[in-house]
């Protein structure tokens, strides 16, 4: 699905460096938000010697502890706020749960956090797990599929998005189940590029091929080109990373004009 009736604009915010609230500072001509989805980047998957568990560094924990001031202002503007989760060099990740029970246990832990803090969903990113470290298993064909199935059951009305990278990207189907049938969006993980990656079951109207790093000062012409290709190609999302604290309305407008027919105002 698209975000409402329009292409979803996505902002990954590395909260170690920048404020999530930057996402809400951009508005369109009609007063609506320029961005649809803000991603808290990122929670980690740690390993305690037996099982994977969810972990937050002090900056992510600060956002969660202060949702009333860090998250609710965005949600009140119609921006969905999701929590990204990825590995932490300890051998545990979404691609190597040893069985269905282990996948379900971590899905329960993650869904509990989403509900506790009233977030709008989760983003799944299979990076930095270092599979095999600390005696952990290697990626297997069923882990990711079982995990997403369990997560979807526990979060039926929340967003689940997939950053198409890592071993999970190579293990999206198992025993008739397809990750693309269970997630809301998936997208290209390589900033500065426009690429299609296969996500069986996911229509193009839920996929984002364009990805730009706003922290690297890309040219407005490149952003505009990617946005126009997104609109013309029937894609469902446009992904950005590291929106900066200052006024980047020229770059944001290069995205919003082709996508929504409106410039973006910084305020």
What three-state secondary structure class fits 204?
A: helix
Q: Is the peptide bond before 111 cis (omega within 30 degrees of 0)?
A: no
Burial readout 10-29 (b: 16 or more C-beta within 10 A, e: otherwise): bbbbbbeebebbbbbbbbbe
**How far, in Å, CA of 83 to CA of 59, rounded?**
13
Positions marked catalytic: 127
In the chain, % helix, strand, coil (3-state, to 5) comes to 35, 25, 40
Strands 177-178, 173-174: pairing is antiparallel
DSSP track, 23-72: GGGEE-TTS-BS-SEEEEEEEEEEE-SSSEEEE--HHHHHHHHTHHHHTH
What three-state secondary structure class fits 213?
A: strand
DSSP 8-state code for residue 2: -
Q: How far, CA to CA in Å, does 257 sit from each of 88, 142, 209, 232?
A: 38, 42, 18, 13
For 164, phi and psi rounded to 5 degrees?
-80, 85
């Amino acid at each position: 699905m698209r975000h409402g009736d329009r292409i979803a604009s996505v902002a990954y915010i590395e909260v170690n460096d920048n404020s999530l609230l930057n996402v809400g500072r951009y508005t369109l001509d009609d007063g609506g938000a320029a961005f649809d989805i803000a991603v808290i980047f990122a929670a980690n998957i740690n390993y305690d010697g037996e099982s994977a568990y969810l972990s937050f560094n002090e900056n992510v924990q600060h956002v969660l502890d202060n949702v009333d001031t860090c998250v609710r202002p965005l949600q009140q503007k119609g921006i969905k706020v999701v929590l990204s989760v990825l590995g932490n060099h300890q051998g545990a990740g979404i691609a190597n749960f040893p069985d269905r029970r282990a996948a379900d246990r971590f899905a329960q832990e993650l869904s509990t956090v989403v509900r506790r803090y009233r977030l709008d969903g989760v983003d799944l990113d299979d990076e930095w797990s270092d599979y095999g470290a600390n005696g952990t298993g290697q990626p297997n064909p069923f882990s990711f599929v079982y995990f997403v199935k369990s997560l979807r059951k526990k979060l039926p009305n929340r967003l689940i998005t997939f950053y198409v990278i890592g071993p999970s990207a190579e293990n999206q189907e198992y025993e008739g189940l397809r990750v693309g049938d269970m997630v809301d969006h998936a997208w290209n993980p390589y900033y500065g590029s426009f690429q299609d990656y296969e996500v069986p079951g996911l229509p193009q109207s839920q996929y984002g091929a364009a990805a730009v790093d706003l922290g690297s000062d890309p040219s407005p012409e490149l952003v505009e080109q990617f946005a126009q290709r997104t609109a013309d190609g029937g894609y469902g999302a446009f992904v950005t990373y590291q929106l900066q604290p200052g006024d980047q309305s020229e770059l944001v407008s290069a995205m919003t004009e082709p996508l929504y027919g409106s410039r973006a105002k910084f305020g």
